[in-house]
Amino acid sequence: PWACMLLDPRSHVQDFVENPHKKVRYFVSSMVHPTTLDGLRKSNVALWGYHAHVGAGEDDVLRERLGEKTFMIGGGCSSAMRGISVLHCIGFRKFKLYGYDLNYPLTNGEVPKEWDGQLDGNGNPKYMEVEVMGKKFWTDAEKVAQAQDFIKMMDQVNDIRLETFGPGIVPHVWNSKRKMLPQFSDIF
């Protein structure tokens, strides 16, 4: 890949990049766990830092430490969604989104028995069925948040070109909300 986006502050993220590739650019949020950053530094790869705005008072800390010559990048609760904002900030305007399904495919349309009774960290059902623009999907709360980020991005950003691939939530939202261009036969 051309780049890798890192946002998550948990220490297990270092496992995702334990063998970094020299030709990949690593976009690393200032909130990543120190061990993740240390491992990348030791590998001498191309590191690009950014400050992720998450609403936890980090803007005050950065201003105190770095002064007014810094800014925060918003745009999502996941590295996948935040990555679009980071790349947009440095000039990218065309995106092809693969793996943004944000749902679990069902075999033969049936919910797996092992999902029954599983709870998330807050004591709520881990898996849930949601309806998004007339279509039902099985997903979890984290993926719902990412879908909400995508919908918000579509409503706020008008200077990017997107293509989405797959059968999931983001491609469905994109195909439901985007301005549909007329077919050739409609014009002539």
Please give the full DSSP string across the chain, using - where no structure is assigned: --EEEE---SGGGGGGGSS--TTSEEEEETTS-HHHHHHHHHTT-EEEEE-B--SSSHHHHHHHHHTTS---B---SSHHHHHHHHHHHTT--EEEE-S---S-PPBTTB--GGGTT-B-TTSSBSSEEEEETTEEEEE-HHHHHHHHHHHHHHHH--S-EEEE-SSSHHHHHHHHHSPPPPPHHHH-
Backbone angles phi, psi at 45, to 5 degrees: -100, 170
pLDDT along the chain (188 residues), means of 10: 90 92 93 92 92 76 74 80 90 93 90 90 93 94 92 84 92 83 61
Cα–Cα distance for residue pair 3/156, rounded to 1 Å: 25
The angle that helices 79-89 and 141-156 make with each other, rounded to 10 degrees, is: 20
What integer pLDDT is reported at residue 182 of this predicted model? Answer: 57
What integer pLDDT is reported at residue 153 of this predicted model? Answer: 87
Tell me the whole-structure pTM to 2 decimals: 0.80
Residue whose structure tokens are 């998004």: 132
Residue 86 to residues 49, 90, 123, Cα–Cα distance (Å): 10, 7, 33
What integer pLDDT is reported at residue 30 of this predicted model? Answer: 86
What integer pLDDT is reported at residue 109 of this predicted model? Answer: 82
CA 171 from centroid of its chain's CA atoms? 14
Residue whose structure tokens are 């590191």: 47
